[in-house]
Structure 1
Amino acid sequence: MPAGIAGIILAGGRSARMGGIDKAFVQLAGRPLIAHAVARLAPQVSMLAISANGPPESYATQGLLVVADTVRGSAGPLAGILAGMTWARDRAPGVTRIATVAVDTPFFPDDLVACLAVAVGSGDVAIAGSRGRAHPTFALLPLDLADDLAAFLAAGGSRRARDWLARHDPAIVDFDDGPDGLDPFFNINTPSDLAAIAGCAGPRLGES
């Protein structure tokens, strides 16, 4: 595992297309999506926190700190990224970078962080890609960009993660499909998405 990297699970979305149900607690292969994200990311980082805006007690079974957004309004994933950076910078001695993942993407690679870390220097930004697309919520970010991100959000312009990341010339690390042909960054936005991958979820998640 690369040293000095904290993991942040981004779970603060509004889940509008899931009928308002918090996607972190949508069940897949008998467990909530948040549990799958924790199980997959925890071995890759030195410590782990959840960025979410729901009641912290909802996540008590995961045994992890919940970091809430501090940016007013709907700032999307960038608000969660900033909250994670600020927490790691102020409360996590020895951590110099964060690795972020989205809670609704249960099959992300189990070598994600290592591959991102190998691709760049300690002060650079790396993001994951697959099938010719970049996935800006799957990123490795140095903590010294926290002030820049705070200023970007305070400016009141774009709040798209890819627009802020583009300012920092990120390396894009491409990941192949799995043996079953599934994009490792397939994300669950709707009930139909959930139904589409229900059959292959068990083997993909290492379960029978």
Structure 2
Amino acid sequence: MISEPGPCNDCIGIILAGGLARRMGGGDKPLVEIEGRPILQHVIDRLKPQCRLLAINANGDPARFARFRLPVVADSIEDFAGPLAGVLAGMDFAADRGAAHVLSAPGDTPFLPADLVSRLDAARSRAGADIAVAASDGRTHHAVALWPVALREDLRRALVEKGERKVSAFIGGFANVVVEWPVEPYDPFFNVNRPEDLVRAAVIAKAESRG
């Protein structure tokens, strides 16, 4: 059972669902099912209690996400600029709604921690950092981060004028803090990249449903 620490009132979550999913044979990876539910629904269930509002970042026909009843925001940067373009879309969406922060998370990470926002926000405040980034097993997950909406014009310039595409490079230009999560009984940032990962995800989901 996922505990609910409560929403971050000034935080909007953006689920990055615009990847090309080449290693899964293409298509919308977040719509692949685990234990009878799309991966994206698992992500939504994890993040919804933690954020004031969620939105999906994806390009193309938004109707394919209609069942999730969430706003779908497309990249404003053309030619598939990667996760940073999705973060910018989330920042613009959040700014229009008066939110101060955006939580970004990939749409293929079905087991995100229930304390993701609260721990990132606390670490950011303690360190006086601009951006807080999640990590596990010694790996930093740059696409899982808490961003200030105030950086959106910096990000827009980096994407448009500098052609920046690496999330880690952009984050490195600002004060940031990395927050580590344990990986037992499983890595909460496990993501479904390959068909064989679906088998592992199903095992985790079954164990969670029993627990």
Question: Normalised by the size of structure 1, how large is the TM-score?
Answer: 0.92
The separation in 2 between residues aligned to 1:123 and 1:143, in whole angstroms, is: 14
SS in structure 1 at match of 2:9 = coil
Deviation digits for residues 115-153 of structure 1, max 9, x if unmatched?
001111387210100111110111000101000000001
Alignment of 1:161-172 (within 5 A): 161-172=167-178
1:74 aligns to what? Answer: 80
In structure 2, the CA distance between the partners of 1:5 and 1:123, relative to structure 1 (3 Å rule), is farther
Distance 1:157 1:133 in 2: 25
Deviations along 1:180-207, one digit per CA (max 9) or x if unpaired, are: 2x21111111101112332222223x46
Bigger drift between 118-127 and 10-19 goes to 118-127
- Which of 172, 181, 206 aligns to 1:175? It is 181
Q: For residue 14 of structure 2, what is the aligned residue in structure 1?
A: 8
Unaligned runs of 5+ in 1: none
- Is the aligned partner of 1:200 residue 2:182? no
The sequence identity of aligned pairs, in percent, is 42
CA contact (8 A) 1:14 1:22 kept: yes
Q: Which amino acid aligns with 1:133?
A: R
SS of 2:19's partner is coil
Question: 1:190 maps to what in 2?
Answer: 194
Q: Which residue of the other structure, out of 22, 31, 37, is the alignment partner of 1:25? A: 31
Question: Is the deviation greater in 9-18 or in 118-127?
Answer: 118-127
What is the total number of aligned residue pairs between the two structures?
Answer: 203
1:102-141 paired onto structure 2 within 5 Å: 102-121=106-125, 124-141=130-147
Distance 1:185 1:125 in 2: 18
Measured on the aligned residues, the alpha-carbon RMSD in Å equals 1.5
* Unmatched segments (≥5 aa) in structure 2: 1-6
Deviation (angstroms), 1:13: 0.4
* Deviations, residues 4-23 of structure 1 (Å, cap 9, x unaligned): 10111110101111111311
- Residue 50 of structure 2, aligned match among 32, 44, 49: 44
Is the CA contact 1:50–1:65 (under 8 Å) kept in the aligned structure 2? yes
Aligned-residue offset at 1:157: 3.7
Compute the TM-score of the two structures, normalised by the length of structure 2: 0.91
Instruction: Measure how far apart 1:2 and its partner are.
Output: 2.5
User: 2:129 touches 2:175 (CA, 8 Å); kept in 1?
Assistant: no
| 2:101 is aligned with 1:84 | no
Amino acid at match of 2:117: V
